[in-house]
Amino acid sequence: MSSEGQVNVLHKFKGILFSTMSSEELLNALDSFPVRQDDVFLVSYPKSGTHWVAEIIENIPNASIALTSPIELGDISKLEELEMYSERRVIPTHLSYDLLPANIKQKQCKIIYIVRNPKDTAVSLYHYYRDNPNLPCIETWDAFLELFLKGEVVYGSWFDHVLSWEEHRNDENVLIIFYEEMKKDFSKSFKKIATFLGIHVNDSEVNEIAWKTSFSEMKSHSVKENDDVSHTICALTSDRNLVFRKGVVGDWINHFTPKQKRAFDELFTEKMNQSELARHLKEIS
């Protein structure tokens, strides 16, 4: 990856790499964002299942919610754009807890945080880097993994991001959801989300949502809806075709060499040795 490529599409804000699609002016202004008490924030490290959970919430019948584009996507006009929504807003973001607008914390808005196995996340983000013109061009998996382990990728270190949110796992307004558990038992995970949001759904509605938000359905819809720029859930692209690749659990095994797995596991143990989320991830992955 050329340093010029990095400079053209990424910039640093408070020590973290961001896409230039998130302007510095907007990032600086986030603390002045007029938050509403009933706002819901859908948070994750990139490539952890944000689109999937967003589609799930959007498909809840009679919920009277509006899915917005990410809070950090665009320029300063984003804050005015978000004001235009009259329904209850579901706002996606990839911000770590520390960078989240202060108003959200003060108003105790509901926050859903999605965690995914970091090896699968790394592989998914690698392919995103390769396919997405808004991210630097990285030639090889080896080169990308090195950057990922150092936290020198967009939105910084996966470890730091997850740990920043784990500190708030017991907050009443925070729900932590695991991608792998949603894949394994959709109904159970979905009901947690619905209960958290104070929305009632019956079993037939749950089954319909499960079908509508299956990977194959979402991928086919992404082709049809690709021109709808307002339906942008990722702060790194409005091209929905780039978002859906495989949507599987365990694809990392097709990329990691034994040596890379050892290096990754060593760092994981070092960084996450006190983490309950890490222990749970090991059990379910």
In 56-85, which positions are buried (b, 16+ CB within 10 angstroms) versus exposed (e)? bbbebeebebebbbbbbbbeeebbeebeeb
Per-residue pLDDT of the chain (285 residues; tens, 9 = 90+): 444 445 589 999 999 999 999 999 999 999 999 999 999 999 999 999 888 899 899 999 888 999 999 999 999 999 999 999 999 999 999 999 999 999 999 999 999 999 999 999 999 999 889 888 889 989 899 999 999 999 999 999 999 999 999 999 999 999 999 999 999 999 999 999 999 999 999 999 999 998 888 766 666 655 555 555 556 766 676 655 555 555 667 889 999 999 999 999 999 999 999 999 999 998 987
Distance CA 159, CA 201 (A): 34
Please tell me which residue in 11, 51, 94, 161 is annotated as part of the active site.
94
**pLDDT score for 264:** 97
What range does the domain containing 162 cover? 3-284
For the domain that residue 72 is a member of, what is the CATH number? 3.40.50.300
Total domains in the chain come to: 1
Does this model's pTM top 0.75? yes
**pLDDT score for 3:** 44
Q: What angle do CA 252, 46, 160 make, to 5 degrees?
A: 90
- Catalytic residue check, 94: yes
